[in-house]
Structure 1
Amino acid sequence: MTDNSSEIPESSRNVFEGADQQLQSGNIAAAKEAFEEISAKVPHTSRLKLLEARILVADGKLAEAAKAYENACNMQDASADAFTDLAKLLKSTGNNAQAREVLRIAFRKFPQTPQVAAKLALALLDEGHIEQARKLIDYSLKIGPDDLEVLETAGIYCRATGSLELAIEHFGQALQKLTLASSTKRRTLYVRLSLQLAEAHKEYGEVKSAESTLRLILKKMPESTRAWLILSDVMRFKKGSPEIKRMQQLLVNHSGQLSLSDRIDLNFALGKAWMDIGDAKQAMSHLNKANQLHRSQYSYDIEAVCRRLKNYGRTCLPVAQSNDTQAQTPDTPDLPLPIFIVGMPRSGTTLVEQILATHPKVFGAGELTTLPRLKNTVLGLDFPDAPDSKERAASKEVLSTLAKLYLQESRQHLPEGFEDNHYLIDKMPGNFMFCGLILAALPHAKIVHCRRNPIDTCLSCYSKYFVSGQSFTYDLAELGRYYRSYEKLMSHWRQKLPKEKFFEIDYEDLVADIERESKRLVEFLGLDWSEDLLAFHNTKRAVRTASSNQVRQPIYNTSLERWRPYKNELKPLFDALSIKPD
């Protein structure tokens, strides 16, 4: 990025560069020594403040780092790096709005710095401003077409919006321009770009390309635990697979060099490997360790979460009982209409979306974060726990605002040529808690609830390392309690919601007779039957979920009753579910 160091003596510039390299390699003490040396020579520069801030971040002193970054930003010789680093720190501490505002200021100050435009694009994308983000990505590519950071950011944007062919192209271009040198920074960038490329291939159904990319990473950098984790998801392990021995050796022989995240990656990967082989004891040993390590990183109040789920049922008036408070919508609404596919994670939601998205009049937008975010924006972070939550959910103005904003944002995901589709799928499983709210705000919407055997569902959740969220899945007892609360809420919706708007499908029934169940789905949606739905696995589209690999295969029944070999390892789950396994 920008480097406002022309007035810094060359000797000090060399020390600056050395300090940056020490930080990248994790040598904080050496970076501090360099900082002290430069301070005596160049006491009042933005670059010095920037170095101080980065050292403070590496040392875990985030509040002090934020102040140092702010000082660097306010100096006359401020660089774009000071602003983007501050925005990164703010985002990491949950201050997304402040981070976005810092990037807006940076863009006004450094309009010709392509990396700033690219970072602002991602910040806007996180808030659902897809069109604004796209324009900034296009602009950053125009002024910085060969910049590695811009190409990576463009790939991330395209991957997030489902343009996987473009994402693969951008990541590939960045890798071609990157010379894999011995520097820590370039090695880190090589792995990061290659992992993004592998994930994009996997999500696009190009499993062989994903696997070859991952194996190339591991050939050059066998210590890349994230590459092992993703590889474990795209390959099928057999007894004697050499990959298992290599992961075990990495976990044991390099334990002192592995971070907490590294150990989580390897244990989840080994858990998957032993599940493939059929060794339940070995699999659960690694899965228990992986989940315990991940769960140790955050606080989570399962009591509060279950109470909140209960409050959604009490607060959100189902459409059948709230016709007088529904959002005002036209009798003939604009297309496409929303379909919400809901349920527990790993309950078959991705499979159902893949089948429906094969229909020529249905577009699958994937797991949109739109509704949970708008719930917070329109109804408040304290909804549905606040005393006046019921009044908020019954307000025509609130519901109309929610509907308008949801439709505006979700339809931005439609690619060119899909505008006339009859339905747009939002497959965020956790939207199950909003069913009453959905039909009050969007009375023309349809809801499809996916169900699966509770033990199979929970075991499948426990075996997966989710990209984000799903905090309830990393402890068997908490997972079971969450499932029970979800089950009670869905029973409530089942009783209250109109059948012409609310449809339920069981994973086991779908696997047993895909044609019959698919026809039921199509009939519920009022669409014509298409034989193409039975060949859903051939549909070329983006699938960004933990089941992206499975839906590229024809229907199979190996996931039925999958829990039985693990019966002796699941007592905390059985107790929480109040189930006595036979």
Structure 2
Amino acid sequence: MTTRQDHLKQAQTTLQAGQYAAALELAQAVLDGAPDDGEALYLAAVAARYCKDTDKAQDYLAALHSAMPEYGRAWQEQGHLAIARSDAQGALSAFTRAVRYNPALTASWRELARLQGAAGNHAEAGTATAQHQRLAALPQELIAVTNHLAEGRLARAEEICRHFLRRNPARDKHHVEAMRLLAKIGIEFGVLDDAEFLLESAVSFAPDDVQLRLDYIDALRRRQKSAEALAQAELLIERDPENPLFQSRLAIECIQMGDYERGLALFGTVLKKLPNDPASLTSRGHALKTKGDRAEAEASYRAAIAAKPDHGDAWYALANLKTYRFSGAEIDQMQHLAARSEIPFMDRVHVNFALAKALEDEGDYEASFRHYDQGNAMKRAQTRYSADAMTRELARQEQFCTPELFEKHAGQGHAAPDPIFILGLPRAGSTLLEQILASHSQIDGTLELPNILALAHRLRGRKAGHPRYPQILHDLTGEQLAKFGEQFIQDTSIHRAGAPFFIDKMPNNFRHIGLIHLILPHAKIIDARRAPMDCCFSGFKQLFAEGQEFTYGLTEIGRYYADYVQLMEHWDRVLPGKVLRVAHEDVLDDLEGQTRRMLDFLGLPFEQQCLDFHTTPRAVRTASSEQVRQPINRKGQDAWKPFEPWLDELKAALGEAG
């Protein structure tokens, strides 16, 4: 056991024994060598409070909030400290934040019930009491699972949860809760098919459990099963047609299915009941943006900010329009918000990215880069992404996807010619290529479909550190490959509008070209390539919703680009002619020539509408939605150059690929 572990264990034991000064001394010994050690800061804060040194306790907590802004126990301790200082309002705020980050904190729910009751907020007090009673009735193992899940210890949470499920019979109410928790763990791990199955089973055992059904809808949406998610949302509405939460959830699912009229009408109904609800206003804005109603989307985002000035999602949504210019007053407001460490973590992340975009538009590149860097650093601290691990993963594709593999399976797979895969890196111009091709009468544009990634994940197996994929491709039969291809066509049909061909624009599919070729040998593949500095820095500036963790650091994104180029060279060697490479810069230089080149590759006749892509009335869900509704332009070209003084790290990571 290390000295740190010894000190922390002794500090905890000493604290439990009531020897508060000694516990504080032991925790401080750890902090002398590691000032940001979260566990030591927490123990020191508790010990200092019991020593009645509330100022020192607050200093420890301030450092802990800075290092771990979403650590629920730290906010619970902040609540206890506020009570010690006779600050009821501060305690109420802290305990509220504690249960937002960790819903298993029984002491926080108990104190919230007491404080809300004392303030005369009887409905809120009743809710807190119900949550406290629910936790009190749960087995300790499931409370532990919830704690570990909230604090990011996923492997330990899964271990306890699976052990509990083995020991308890199905259909027991606690068994159902364990299934729900295991599904949430699965979602965190990205094992979405298992999460869906667990929740589907749990809902069949407990059909009246609203939280289960909400979680099930979330899992279905993540798997792009829009029709199934919509059906589940409809069941909630049948249960309580006037419930604004259910109406909002149904609105989201309608919009996912392309029914903007009904979705926006439902948001309108919700906002009549809750006119200043920032989440509904922001979601409504997202729908309007996707639909192409730019002015109305902008107004909805601004209304969300007026209702809740620190609602970071709405600030970033305005910036993510790409063409919105912030006023001086709005920039001042965001600068004030970015400096406030007490606002929720993701709100600060969103504000940093939005402020960076605003300052870039103003020409203040040094300050702009500082906020891009800060926002990315905050996100990077949350992830488990490893550039070394990604390099190894992509190298395995080169190791096992050999000419011999493709010769062995020649003539196998599913014969459908329908799919067109546009892949590469995000922010490489793939949305523009999709918009050009989806303007053709014989091609449907769809979404960034997760099906290939999900199949690769399933083939990888469950044994941590020992993935079976892609080596397992050598062991698959022709029948299995054809079945996988057929399943892809069936599962993606919900997103099509009847054209003979359709586009899957998931960028990360470049990692799995070998798998795509084996299951769909007649599919067409287009590699959207953009100049490395433009592509990488554009990715660094973009706050992605999920799935692109390599963008949160200059070194990480530079290495990813270099690895991508190397893997694409491998695919060119082992599958010559399979991939058409389209450089973004070539499209800017010769739109018609590159459009004809793509259509020739696809075996389709030229149509003028492809050149008039910006007039095509279709929903676009990516960050480039506003840009592809404009004629071709060079606004994004060389956008990295004003930031060059701060990009040495990126250049070094790109190496020869740059």
TM-score category, normalised to shorter length: 0.7 to 0.9
CA distance in structure 2 between the aligned counterparts of 1:43 and 1:544, rounded to whole angstroms: 37
CA distance in structure 2 between the aligned counterparts of 1:553 and 1:466, rounded to whole angstroms: 22
Partner of 1:351: 432
Q: Structure 1 stretch 514-523 or stretch 423-432: which is displaced more?
A: 514-523
Partner of 2:200: 104
Shift in alpha-carbon separation, 1:85–1:235, aligned structure 2, 3 A: same
What do residues 129-173 of structure 1 show as CA deviations (whole Å, max 9, x unaligned)? 454434333433344333223222223333444444443333333
**SS at structure 2 position matched to 1:296:** helix
* Aligned with residue 341 of structure 1, among 422, 429, 433: 422
Deviation, 1:213, is: 0.3
Q: Structure 1 stretch 274-283 or stretch 156-165: which is displaced more?
A: 156-165
Deviation, 1:212, is: 0.3
Give matches, 1:499-518, under 5 Å.
499=577, 501-518=578-595
CA contact (8 A) 1:83 1:103 kept: no
CA distance in structure 2 between the aligned counterparts of 1:238 and 1:125, rounded to whole angstroms: 32
> 2:249 is matched by which residue type in structure 1?
T
CA distance in structure 1 between the aligned counterparts of 2:610 and 2:219, rounded to whole angstroms: 37
* Aligned with residue 390 of structure 1, among 467, 471, 474: 471
CA-atom RMSD, angstroms? 4.0
CA distance in structure 1 between the aligned counterparts of 2:354 and 2:203, rounded to whole angstroms: 41
Q: Does 1:262 align with 2:347?
A: yes
Q: Structure 1 stretch 116-125 or stretch 533-542: which is displaced more?
A: 116-125
CA distance in structure 1 between the aligned counterparts of 2:655 and 2:479, rounded to whole angstroms: 42
Q: Does 1:177 align with 2:276?
A: no
CA distance in structure 2 between the aligned counterparts of 1:241 and 1:44, rounded to whole angstroms: 46
CA contact (8 A) 1:358 1:533 kept: yes
CA contact (8 A) 1:268 1:463 kept: yes
Ranges in structure 2 where 5+ consecutive residues have no aligned partner: 1-90, 100-104, 116-125
Give matches, 1:116-515, under 5 Å.
116-117=212-213, 119-127=215-223, 129-178=225-274, 190-234=277-321, 236=323, 241-252=328-339, 255-317=340-402, 322-326=406-410, 328-329=412-413, 333-334=415-416, 337-380=418-461, 386=467, 389-393=470-474, 395=476, 396-414=478-496, 418-419=497-498, 421-499=499-577, 501-515=578-592
CA distance in structure 1 between the aligned counterparts of 2:131 and 2:412, rounded to whole angstroms: 63
What do residues 488-543 of structure 1 show as CA deviations (whole Å, max 9, x unaligned)? 111121233242x4211110111122112111111111112111112212222222
Q: Structure 1 stretch 389-398 or stretch 519-528: which is displaced more?
A: 389-398
**SS at structure 2 position matched to 1:578:** helix
Q: Does 1:558 align with 2:635?
A: yes
Shift in alpha-carbon separation, 1:310–1:353, aligned structure 2, 3 A: same
**SS at structure 2 position matched to 1:548:** coil
CA contact (8 A) 2:550 2:557 kept: yes
Q: Structure 1 stretch 535-544 or stretch 439-448: which is displaced more?
A: 535-544
What do residues 306-345 of structure 1 show as CA deviations (whole Å, max 9, x unaligned)? 1111211222246x97244146357xx45x6100001111
What do residues 39-73 of structure 1 show as CA deviations (whole Å, max 9, x unaligned)? xx999975753699889958957879998xx89x9
> 1:298 is matched by which residue type in structure 2?
T
Shift in alpha-carbon separation, 1:473–1:113, aligned structure 2, 3 A: closer
CA contact (8 A) 1:198 1:213 kept: yes
Partner of 1:185: none
Q: Structure 1 stretch 540-549 or stretch 54-63: which is displaced more?
A: 54-63
Deviation, 1:202, is: 1.5
Q: Does 1:578 align with 2:655?
A: yes
Shift in alpha-carbon separation, 1:542–1:34, aligned structure 2, 3 A: closer
Of Structure 1 and Structure 2, the greater helix share is in 2
**SS at structure 2 position matched to 1:234:** coil
Shift in alpha-carbon separation, 1:348–1:106, aligned structure 2, 3 A: same
CA distance in structure 2 between the aligned counterparts of 1:468 and 1:173, rounded to whole angstroms: 29
Question: How many residues matched?
Answer: 538
CA distance in structure 1 between the aligned counterparts of 2:130 and 2:409, rounded to whole angstroms: 66
Partner of 1:533: 610
CA distance in structure 1 between the aligned counterparts of 2:345 and 2:469, rounded to whole angstroms: 42
CA distance in structure 2 between the aligned counterparts of 1:225 and 1:489, rounded to whole angstroms: 37
**SS at structure 2 position matched to 1:540:** coil
**SS at structure 2 position matched to 1:568:** helix
Asked which structure has the greater RCO (Cα within 8 Å, sep 6+), the reply is 1
Shift in alpha-carbon separation, 1:440–1:26, aligned structure 2, 3 A: closer
Ranges in structure 1 where 5+ consecutive residues have no aligned partner: 1-18, 181-189
CA distance in structure 1 between the aligned counterparts of 2:137 and 2:377, rounded to whole angstroms: 39
> 1:451 is matched by which residue type in structure 2?
R
Partner of 1:520: 597
> 2:282 is matched by which residue type in structure 1?
L
> 1:147 is matched by which residue type in structure 2?
N
CA contact (8 A) 1:50 1:82 kept: no
CA distance in structure 2 between the aligned counterparts of 1:153 and 1:366, rounded to whole angstroms: 20
> 1:221 is matched by which residue type in structure 2?
K
What do residues 412-452 of structure 1 show as CA deviations (whole Å, max 9, x unaligned)? 222xxx33x12110000110111122112211100001111
CA contact (8 A) 1:518 1:533 kept: yes
**SS at structure 2 position matched to 1:447:** strand
Shift in alpha-carbon separation, 1:56–1:118, aligned structure 2, 3 A: closer
CA contact (8 A) 2:316 2:354 kept: yes
Partner of 1:9: none
Deviation, 1:281, is: 1.1
CA contact (8 A) 1:514 1:534 kept: yes
Deviation, 1:128, is: 5.1
**SS at structure 2 position matched to 1:226:** helix
Q: TM-score normalized by structure 2?
A: 0.72
CA contact (8 A) 2:223 2:450 kept: no
Percent of pairs with identical residues: 30
Deviation, 1:239, is: 8.4
Q: Structure 1 stretch 297-306 or stretch 445-454: which is displaced more?
A: 297-306
> 2:137 is matched by which residue type in structure 1?
K
Shift in alpha-carbon separation, 1:406–1:569, aligned structure 2, 3 A: same
Shift in alpha-carbon separation, 1:297–1:508, aligned structure 2, 3 A: same
